[in-house]
Amino acid sequence: MSERIGFIGLGNMGRPMAGQLVAKGFATSVFDLSEAPMEILRQKGATRAAGIPAVIANSDVIVTMLPNTPDVQGVVLGEGGLLATGRPGMLHIDMSTIDPLASKAMAAALAEKGIGWVDAGVGRSPAHADRGESSFMVGATDADLARARPVLAAMGNAIIHCGGPGAGISMKIVLNFMSMATCQITAETLALGTKLGLKMTDMNAVISAGLACNEHFRQYWPTKVLAGDTTPGFAIDLAFKDLSIAVATAAAAGVPVITGSAAREAMGIARSVHGLGKEDITAVLVAASRNAGVQTPRL
């Protein structure tokens, strides 16, 4: 593999995705503020970088998987970042869930320096990332996507080209808007049913077989909150961040999102009142159950 990859951001999704690149033979430098995932990847064959400038200096393609817009802006626009120290001909693949307008602005700034940009929103879960089965919603020029495709294909098995720079992250925001709002209505549904005396096993049987079912409820919730596990695969804090970006993006576009805005406020209560921000997204059921005055149901 001739491309040298620099991977920045080794959280629940980033660490297994970087691991897939190493396993598939890419020369990969990694950096994260946490030592533990860097050491795990070093043992698999990655190179531990001392910081962002070192990643940039020793890579042809930079991949970022970071929590929020300012984190990506730091890599691109900050001191020692890609705009300041990158070389013409490099490529940046950003897989973070961030503000689409900021994504487009960074793409334009890097283009002026001859550095390509691919925004590749990631679908599916950390378990899929561990198996190399992530999906990607991509915004890029045809040429940049052609170059990025082998890197993305090493980490996932579905690549959907949604348009030019900014289109991939816009699609991810739309996807997460629906997904996170659905989690909130699912939590309130189960809390209501519990309050009315319905058994969780019966609600599961009826909802799973009906048109109201969703993949979160069918596949993910039985492995998490309904099994008594709220350790974060995808934390409520991140869900709240994604919904906040979606609501702000909708406002800028002049699109009312009344239900989604309410879901965002409910997640804000789960964070601020119930202290569940660091718990898994399915822990919105814990908050909804407390609000209803019932025990959190289990399967």
End position of a domain, from candidates 165, 189, 207? 165
Q: Give the residue from 165, 186, 217 where a domain finishes.
A: 165
User: Which residues form the domain of 241?
Assistant: 171-292
The reply to whether 147 falls in a domain is yes
> Is there a single domain that holds both residue 17 and residue 144?
yes
Q: What is the pLDDT of residues 214-241, one digit of tens each?
A: 999 999 999 999 999 999 999 999 999 9
Burial 8-24 (b: 16+ CB within 10 A, else e): bbbbbbbbbbbbbbbee
Distance of alpha carbon 23 from alpha carbon 45, whole angstroms: 8
pLDDT at 77: 97
Q: What's the DSSP call for residue 166? A: T
Burial label for 210, CB within 10 Å (0-12, 13-18, 19+), is exposed
Closest-CA residue to 126 (of 59, 61, 71, 65)? 65
Q: Kindly calculate the radius of gyration of the chain based on its CA atoms and give it in whole angstroms.
A: 20
Can you give the pLDDT at residue 137?
98
Residue 297 lies in a domain: no
In this structure, how many other beta carbons lie within 10 angstroms of the beta carbon of residue 87?
13
* Residue 266, domain member (yes or no): yes
* Residue 129 located in a structural domain: yes
Same domain, 47 and 152: yes
Question: Taking a C-beta distance cutoff of 8 angstroms, is the pair 81, 110 a contact?
Answer: no
The Cα–Cα gap between 161 and 169 comes to 11
Q: Please indicate whether residue 172 is annotated as part of the active site.
A: yes
What is the pLDDT, as a whole number, of residue 267?
Answer: 97
On whether both 36 and 175 belong to a single domain, the answer is no
**Identified catalytic residue from 104, 172, 224, 241:** 172
Check: CB of residue 167 under 8 Å from CB of residue 144: no
Largest CA distance in the chain: 64
Whether residues 144 and 13 share a domain: the answer is yes
Which residues of the chain have a pLDDT value below 70? Answer: 1
Domain-terminating residue out of 118, 149, 165: 165
Answer whether residue 225 is part of any domain: yes
pLDDT of residue 2: 78
Q: What is the pLDDT of residues 248-295, one digit of tens each?
A: 999 999 999 999 999 999 999 999 999 999 999 999 999 999 999 999
- Same domain, yes or no: 179 and 232: yes
